[in-house]
Structures are given as C-alpha cells and as structure tokens.
Structure 1
Amino acid sequence: MAEPEPTPTVVVDGVHITYKVHGTKGGRGSATSALSRIVSRKSAPGVREVHAVKGVSFAAYKGEAIGLIGSNGSGKSTLLKAIAGLLPPSHGRVFTRGQPSLLGVNAALMSDLTGERNVILGGLAMGMSREQVRTRYDDIVEFSGINEKGDFISLPMRTYSSGMGARLRFSIAAAKSHDVLLIDEALSTGDAKFQRRSQRRISELREEAGTVFLVSHSNQSILDTCDRAIWLESGTLRMDGPVAEVIAAYDEFTGKGGKGGKGAEGAEGGKRG
C-alpha cells in the first residue's frame, strides 16, 4: 500500500517583505517641513526602504525540524515573523495549518513580575488553561533550571540574566504541543545541559506531529536539532535540503569549510523549488 502524502503545515509562496527604516539623522524637523513632505508625497529624510526577503518559496511538513541559516541581516528573523503572522508580506502569500507560535529571546514577559507569575501568564498566553498551567508548573520550572542555584523563580524577572530569561521563555513555550513552533535564537543562550534538554524536547514536539523552525547562529545546534536546513542570503533562498549538505555549502561559502564563495555556486543547484 502506498504511503500517504505528507501533510504541509507551512507554505511560503513567492514571499517578498519590504519595510521602512526611520533613521534619526537630521532630527525630527519642523511641523511645517513635515506637512510640506506630506503634501508633496516625499519621504522624510533618513527614511530608507529595506527589501528583507526576496521571492522565497518552500513548503514545510508535519514532523520536520528546519534550521534557518545565513549571514546577519539575511532575512531569517523577518521570515519567521511573516510565518507567525506578525509581519505581512509585501508580495506573495504564507499559508499555515494551525496556529504558529513564535518564541524569541525578546519574547515579552513582564520584568517587574516574578518568574512564577510570568510562568502563569506566559502559559495562558500560549493557549493553556489555568488547570494545564497549574499541572505543568513544576515541570516548566525544573526544565528551565532557574532554581538550580537558588529560589530565583520567586524573584522579579528583571533580576535574571539574559540566559535565565531565555531558558524560562523556552520552557514555557515547550510545555505544550504546537502545530508550528518558531524558535529565534532562544537556544543559544543556555548552557550545554539546557541545550541537550531543549534538543530532546524539540524531538518530542516533532513526534507530536508538529513542525519546528529554528534560527541560530550556532550551526552545531542546527545540526544537532534539525534534519533540514534553509539557507537565506541577502533575502534570497540559496539552498534548501538535508541539514548536513546545506551547512557544508554555507561553511564553504563563508570560508569556514575551505575557500569562500565556492559553496554558493554549488548551493544554487541544490535549491528546492
């Protein structure tokens, strides 16, 4: 009997994302000059348009863990925001099955509240019921490792290091299953022990029929966690395929795997439509 067709969870179809960056050069200017620009339809000085993602297309499927790699400013985080529905494409479309959940190191928890209160509020924000949060509370705190060196969970979040905050955010998000979980640099701030726990939890999320996207500057984290990688460079999709092959090509392109530049040429041949 033929195997059933895999179910797509995310389809990115010819997506372009353009946004404006407002610089501070020249100050605010006068109200008169601002009105003059509005009437003449001219852009304010210091405003520039950034074409962050350029015609990217791919499909993701249930059970996949996909790493997004590329140089700084290549469009990885911007693309995650578009998949999460937080940033509308300028052209093209994004289709998702179920509700995507974006987890980043800057995800909003309340710094003046204790870790305990943030676990409760964060769990509710992730769609858990109060009973579910109550049942999973101890597991969330233990997973995060927040209390390994003291009773930090009872202290305000503003007293936490960036790594502690990132671990707690991931622990809250990982406490429930997700149709699509988008992780932006949240694993790079933890120690080796926490990263191993995180990788095991991501494997469990995949087995629960979810799809995981991971952005990380650590190629080793991508290799350890993902089976597929998408390489973005200057907003364009350079390669999409098995994680080891994509990272090898990217390392060659950046000079980590030999002479730079050569990997990008080979990468074009490995791109999926």
Structure 2
Amino acid sequence: MIKTAFLKPNGSVISMDQFAIHHQNFDRKGQELIKKWASETEGKDLIFAIGNGSNTYNTQCAVCNLMQNLKTLKKQVDISFCVVPECGASKYSCTTAAQEEFGKEAEIKQISAVSIGRRLIDPMSEYVKIEPQHLGQGQYQLSADEKLLKQKVALVVRDRVSLIGADLNQASKHLLQYICGLNEATAKGIVKYREEHGAFRSREQLKKIKGIGAVAFQQCAGFLTVSNPEEDSERGPPAKRAKTMEEWCPLDGTIVHPDDYKNGRK
C-alpha cells in the first residue's frame, strides 16, 4: 500500500491518501487521484518525491507509466519525479512534534510521506526535525554521546542557516529557532502569524511578532528572506493576504540587511 501526500509549493498539506500498486502500476484509485491532483496544480509543475526505501523501483516505474497517461490531460502539466532519502522519516512521524502538527489521529506512514515530500521542497527545514542519531549517516552515530551530538548538529545547522538564510514563508519552526535573534517561542510566533495572516510580504512584519523587538529584529532580519508573494499566490487564501498588503521589496528577498537598504537603493 502506497501512502501519499499532496503538498503546496510551500510544503502545506492539501490532502493525504493511500492506494495500492500492482505490477509497477497504481490501482484505479491511485490513477484517478493523481489525475485529480494534476488538474489542481494551477499551471505549476507536478513533482513526485519518491522515498528510496524497499519499494522505490516499482514506484518509480508506476509513476513513469502514469506520466504517459497524464499527457492526455486537457490542461498540460509538466510532470517529473525525484528520489528522496527517507532516513529518519518514520522516526520523526512518531514524535510529539509530529503529533502536534498533524494530530494524534494521523497515520504514521502518511506523516512520513509528508516529510519525504517536504525534503524535496526545503531539505534543511525538514532534516532539522530529525534526531541526529536517526539520520543514517555511518554506523556509529548511535554510539556517540547523544548530548554532544545534538550540540554539534546545532552548531552546524546554525552556521548553515546563517550562511544561506531561511525563507520566512517556508521555513519550519524547527529551523527558525536556529536563526540568530530567535528562539523556540518567537519561531512558533512566526509560524502562527503566517497561518493566521497568510504569506509574509515584508521583513517589517516581523516586528508584529511577540518577542521580536528592535534588538531581535536587527539580529535576525538579515538571515530571513521574503520571496515574492505574487509568484506563489496560493500561500494563504486571498482574504488573508488582503490583511497584510505591505508592498514587497526585492531587497527583502536577499540577505541584504534592512539597515543597508538605503545603500542598496543608490
């Protein structure tokens, strides 16, 4: 039985389902469901993230066969697939953090499907949720001192996030808490604000988050980018987006700090 999840480009879950695979072909339910999803992409690409587990080859073949059938759709959709490492996905799906996000009724394997899909969208946001001893890198991580291992991973993640930044409209709370100037509480506040008001349109909106004052804003703003909301209009319903119609500044999509915007506009 194949566990599946249909995700938006920002990782939000649209729906989760399951269907069977027979002789490298999805059953009728699976074929009809994926055709339905393809018709709902609103002109965007449809990309399958396939876990690299035991049944990955048959799943890849089934997707390839289905791609041929989807060419007959009235609305042409670019379709492709990518094989994604699924190490630690099943471990994360059993955690308290996963239950908080998906609810206690959600099936573990379907949570794993969401995790695999999100790894293709934003790998770092998803991998920071996994305990380092479950990442499957080498043979001896289970023998290492757990506290020391977590400290080292935290340092590496903070360094990488500081180097490349994080998208305010996409990063998970687990990733945001590693940003300089933020903590677990303010990271949760950012995600909550995003859920209630839709996509961030400006870094200035960070000042509306409880716990982010002038000092915290100065520390974190340069590491948090805001992608152009107009390029991903489905991030939050129109009614919510209308509440926060701050004009998007292209510099918000870079790692240039707001303090340097004046120089950047010269």
| TM-score (structure 1 length as normaliser) | 0.27
- Mark the structure with the bigger radius of gyration: 1
The higher relative CO (CA closer than 8 Å, separation ≥ 6) is in 1
Relative to its length, the structure with more strand (as a share) is: 1
Structure with the largest fraction of helix? 2
Q: What TM-score comes out, normalization by structure 2 length?
A: 0.28
